[in-house]
Amino acid sequence: AQKITQTQPGMFVQEKEAVTLDCTYDTSDPSYGLFWYKQPSSGEMIFLIYQGSYDQQNATEGRYSLNFQKARKSANLVISASQLGDSAMYFCAIFTQGGSEKLVFGKGTKLTVNP
């Protein structure tokens, strides 16, 4: 079975600074994808970034980058130049191709950006 662990229930960062949100995963499947979603207080799930297990380079999408360390089974999200609008819950999730085709989510990290 797949598992996602997010050990930071809450994080604080000053506006314009960078922040790293931790995510470790567990799977026995060699082929998988890792996702980060943002959930603002309004409730919707916003896709941020994806990393495939066979991707050679770390994924980047604008201010978001994924620090993928396969041997450590970690997929940390780095947000550069934080903005007030980044304050939200952030969920890490895994999808494995060999097993059932569903996303398994972590418990999330609540990020607060301070002015």
Partner 1 sequence: EPEVTQTPSHQVTQMGQEVILRCVPISNHLYFYWYRQILGQKVEFLVSFYNNEISEKSEIFDDQFSVERPDGSNFTLKIRSTKLEDSAMYFCASNPEGSSYNEQFFGPGTRLTVL
Site for partner 1 in 39-68 (CB under 8 A): 43-45, 47, 50, 52
| Residue with smaller CB distance to partner 1, 91 or 113 | 91
C-alpha distances out from residue 112 to 13, 17, 20, 84, Å? 6, 12, 12, 8
Residue from the set 25, 32, 68, 91 that interacts with partner 1 by CB under 8 A? 91
Return phi, psi of residue 106, to 5°: -85, 180
**In angstroms, rounded to a whole number, what is the distance separating the alpha carbons of residues 18 and 7?**
18
- Least Cβ distance, residue 115 to partner 1 (angstroms): 25
88 forms bridges with which residues in the sheet? 111
- Contact residues for partner 1 (CB under 8 A)? 33, 35, 37, 43-45, 47, 50, 52, 91, 93, 95, 97, 100-108
